[in-house]
Structure formats: structure tokens, C-alpha cells
Amino acid sequence: MKNPLKDIETLSGYIVEQKKKAKKVGSMVIPESIEHELDNEGVVYLLPKNNPLGLKIGETVIFRAYCGEKIKINSMEYLVLSPDEILAKYK
């Protein structure tokens, strides 16, 4: 499968795929899009040239609620986050 972000270079932001979670209630699965809480974790897919946070592709990060700019590439949704919107990463 071709990498949809291969031809993109970010100038100052990180491109992250937001993790989607679904809850199971009895035999029903309720997707996160119906829930009111936002999931603020994601996987880093593309780094800016200067990479001030020293992140690596594939790392899981925690970011602020209600932040970033949503973009859609080949039917996949990503968030473009500035360094100040990323709060932490998992070790």
C-alpha cells in the first residue's frame, strides 16, 4: 500500500492519526463519534523538518483537547498539531 503522506512535508507541525475507540455496551458497539468525550491520543505519522520535540514516527502522543487542524488525505483523517499542542508521549 502506498504511503498517502509520502509527498507531503510539514513546515512546522506534526501529522498525527487520532486513535478512535469504541465502547461496548452489552452486545452493542458505540463508536467514539457518538460520545461527548474526545480522545486526545494519536500516533505520529509525519514530522516537521526541525522536530523540536524529538518525536519519532510511530510514537503515541497525548495532545490538548479541541486542538489541531483536521485534514483528509485519500479518505484517511489526520490532525496537524503544533509543538505546543502536544503535551506528552508514551515511553
In terms of pLDDT, which residue wins out, 25 or 64?
64
Per-residue pLDDT band for 18 (boundaries 50, 70, 90) equals confident
Q: For residue 86, what pLDDT is reported?
A: 95
Rounded to two decimals, the pTM is 0.74
The whole-angstrom separation of Cα 75 and Cα 16 is 15
CB 5 within 8 A of CB 15: yes
Beta partners for 61?
A: 42, 89
Least reliable range by pLDDT among 11-15, 25-29, 51-55, 74-78? 25-29
Nearest Cα neighbor of 61 from 36, 37, 81 is 81
The whole-angstrom separation of Cα 34 and Cα 13 is 28
